[in-house]
Structure 1
Amino acid sequence: MKKLLLWRRVGVAVCVAMLVRYADMSVVLAQGLGGAGRIQGTVKDPTGGVMQAVEVTIRNPVSGFTRTTTTDAAGTFVFSNLPPNPYHLVIEAQGFQRLERDVDVRSAVPITLDLTLALAGATSTVDVVGHAEDLVERDPSAHTDIDQTLIAKLPLESSGGLNQVVTLASPGVVSDSNGFFHPVGDHAQTQFSIDNQPVTDQQSRLYSNQLSPDAVQSMEIITGVAPAEYGDKSSLVVHIVTKSGLDQPKPTGSLAVEYGSFTTPTVDLNIGVGSHRLGNFLSLSGMRTDRFLDAPEFQALHDAGHKISFFDRLDAQTNPTGTFHLNLQAAHSTFDVPNTLDAAALGQEQHQAISTFNIAPGYSQVIGLKTLFTANGFIRQDHLTYAPSPDPFPASPAITT
């Protein structure tokens, strides 16, 4: 006999954000408002002529985020899908003075910069300046910023998932068995926000299939004073911006094939490609192991399992101020429930299978200079199937007389 457990979440979120701009600066607003941001601009010489093939770099030294692009024939540059954070922008061109600018991204409203390079003088000096604003944010929430460059360096287990990233990278979060974690406060009052889609169910290998860490561009782990838009589940909020294929004219990605302990082969494929107007990112991962769940004994007994995960993100700029995105996720995992020595001697054989699918479309429209309209809908389901031992007696307690 099989027992079926089903979780389904359907939701629609609409947000209107009012932003006030002064020159090239924007007022600091709630961190999660509007999702990923965009910095665009034009580089000119002192006469007002546009400059092409000029290298423009932005970075955040706290999260480790760094991205570089070059201006096109019209002297313009674009950085899209930026996590909400402060950035330090640097422009260098031969024969011109180095230009630096601090830009604070807090919403999906594009930030437009008009930058003019000054000619280099006969003599040049080098000034070493520390930018404290890169390290100290004007944000009342207690949070940790994590970029993919840091995620790639973490010693993650093959089945660790996003929960292990949160545990290893955020102070005050304690790990538990099978991917659970405990923040400061009620561990049940936690939530993930993936490209503005709320996921408020408890996440672990026992009950759900998570997004692959390779599909994440950045994570902001809020451990205190969460913004009001996240609702009442605020013990810990994980705000995630996934990778995008926008502004990648050449296909860019990675393929990793690994083999580890407990007979654990893994395969991970990630690829992104796109233009300024249309982009797509695809992530595929698969894993098989003889130790899927945390074993109650030193030896993994009846603990084999496998999982496969698919994630695709499509971005399309429908008009100069409107953007549509669509997240698709499908995953399946099948695993044994591990035995103790006594249960193994009795011949217990319990299994679980979890099927997950998620569809999350969204649309953002900039109205004027002060208003951002965003609408996000989603359908998400975790379908868990539990299969007890074929022989019910080994799974039953002994009857004594």
Structure 2
Amino acid sequence: MTEIQNAAWRIELEIDENRQDPVGVAAKQALNERGFAIKSPIRSVRGFLLPGILKREAVEIAANKLFADPVTEYARILAPGEVFAGGKNMVLVRRQPGVSDPEGQSATRAMQLLDITLPAGSVVESYRGFRVTGAVDPEVLIRTSGRALCNLVIETVESGDSAIMMHPTPAPQRCPRREIPLLGVDLAQLEQISAQMMLALTGEEMLAVQAFYQKEGREPVDVELETLAQTWSEHCKHKTLTGPVELYIDGEHVRSYDNLLKETVFAATQQLSPEWCWSVFKDNAGVIELTPETGIAIKVETHNHPSALDPYGGAGTGIGGVIRDILGTGLGARPIAAIDVFCVGQSDIQRADLPPGTMHPDRILEGVIAGDDPLQV
């Protein structure tokens, strides 16, 4: 029954063979740079999965009127369970279950405009594909694509010659109230709770949380701990930027900082206190003087950790946050330009030397640049 419910039509769109394919060119370059030498051109694919219960006529209408650009693309429609003949030389990149799919969400809403009714609870899913036009080793292609063409934290890569099922739709569940026994445990147990719940809080931080609830005289519930962990995370609290740092230059200890931000950028700004700094460290963004009547709001935002996990999404939400904070400064500033600076690790670091689960700096750099492209930064 589950296979019937998750069966899917595949609509795959490719650029006409006589047209250039910049995405395919970039994919070939990415694979070659990561040790998989490919001489044949690569063609990129935009794919959509529709519920298998739909009639072919409805799928063809969606393919031709909604998804395909009739000037530059052609559509390939595969029925549920059908396999593409050239799929062995092709990889498909899909979001993992539960990961937000903006293209799929937009397509789901757009289906209503075509008077195509989806079954209750069903959605349209999007994916990407890359087809090598010449001979290639499928196993090596899949293995290398996992490093070069997708982010395995949020995506999966699979061969194009297998039938694809839609992700199962989870049934709504009620979450019971769950208390976490915190008051009477020792440091080792606190650290274990942090690890098991993936709170990413240190033992010292867990002791502080424990002390708070001991004063309250009750155990915390899981939602409270999750909220504290999120608020106290590196991304939200900037524990590294505002924490103690030891500065070494050429192996020699130069000085110590109790709070790196306050003792450098903040301290220098306060000490200089130029008249043209109208508002600093007060509002959502800093404001400096352009003319006696006009100020410029400037904001920077650190998205190191989100971008390390998902470079594209991390950079996209980062620049979005910068624009949001400009709009929220004073009575509302008007965004007129965006600048961004990307700092990543050394480009010549060997992949074998990377910490487990991390991306190579060149992959992160590619992703964050692409993540800012939609905003034309």
- Please report the TM-score for the alignment, with normalisation by the length of structure 2: 0.25
Q: Which has the higher helix share?
A: 2
Structure with more relative contact order (C-alpha pairs < 8 Å, separation 6 or more): 1
More strand by share: 1
Bigger Rg, structure 1 or 2? 2
- TM-score in terms of structure 1 length: 0.24
